[in-house]
Amino acid sequence: MIDSSFDWGPLLKGGPLFIGILNLTPDSFSDGGRFTDPEGALAQARRLSEAGARMLDLGAESTRPGAEPITADLEWARIEGVLVRLQQALPELPLSLDTRHAEVARRGLAAGITVLNDVTGFAHPAMLDLARGSHCGLIAMRSRRKLDRFHMPPYDDPAPKDAEVAIGELRAVRDRLQQAGIPDDRTLLDPGFGFGTTFLEDRALWEALPRLSEALAWPANRICLGVSRKRFLAARAGTPRLAPGQRDALTSEAHAEALRWGFRVFRTHAIR
């Protein structure tokens, strides 16, 4: 583990912080299977770094709608070889680990991971204990669970929705980490677009972004937005059937919009 507490401050200086998404899964919604071998992952990491990513986020368990949960051993097996190659080839680039499993997170920290990114907002006691006992950076996302899976309602549900429930869930994530004694400057909060939300709720949440910082009593530059290639962008643009790989222009437009509102951190598959 790293010796001193992580502080996002230095990374938040000098323009937006693009965190490049490196999917190590065969079944990601966006680019599943393309970067599962270490050489392919390293090539993509170089592309992201050259395009402007100042951190990489490694994920080895798909969280797309309907994805099957995997074991911690399989998740780590997908990560370990890539992690070693990245540290050898790009030692200056900090690495985030996208996992909800404490055993995988523990192995990642021991291997030099800088940030833990938990899509369940450190809801599991073991993950919260690990976050509290370490000094790494944290990305804590709001999501909805149903038993051992993510709850994903029909995205085109026409029932009217506002953003208040989702904002309340994100506030509960914030409270969980604060009550655990974790310093705020170690944490980024993620609203979790698409995780248990319908299009109308995502749209309401996006439209609420200009007031989200005030609603959370949390600075906008420590909120991480993860809308890259998501169906929300395609649906908002009136092109719901647009393939994920063709949504990079829409992603860039959304990032530019959020930048005007004071947001500075974006998880993204590509940087234009």
166 pLDDT above the threshold of 60: yes
**Of 62, 67, 137, 135, which Cα lies nearest the Cα of 96?**
137
What string of DSSP letters covers 129-152?
Answer: HHHHHS--EEEEE---EETTEE--
Residue 46: Cβ-neighbour burial (10 angstroms; 0-12, 13-18, 19+): middle
> CA dihedral in degrees (109, 115, 116, 121; nearest 10)?
150
DSSP class of residue 185 equals G
For residue 2, what pLDDT band results from cuts at 50, 70 and 90?
A: very low
- For the domain covering 9-268, report its CATH number: 3.20.20.20
DSSP class of residue 21 equals E
Q: How far apart are CA 189 and CA 174, in angstroms?
A: 7
Report the 10 Å Cβ neighbour count for 108: 26
pLDDT (mean) for 69-91 = 94
- What pLDDT is stored for residue 1 in this prediction? 39
The model's pLDDT over 97-147, given as tens digits with 9 standing for 90+, comes to: 999 999 999 999 999 999 999 999 999 999 999 999 999 999 999 999 887
Dihedral over Cα of 92, 97, 102, 103: its sign: negative
Residue extents of the structural domains in the chain:
9-268
The model's pLDDT over 19-40, given as tens digits with 9 standing for 90+, comes to: 999 999 875 545 555 666 889 9
- What pLDDT is stored for residue 26 in this prediction? 78
What is the percentage of the chain residues whose pLDDT exceeds 70?
93
CA distances from 227 to 62, 87, 177, 210, 217 (A): 16, 27, 23, 16, 22
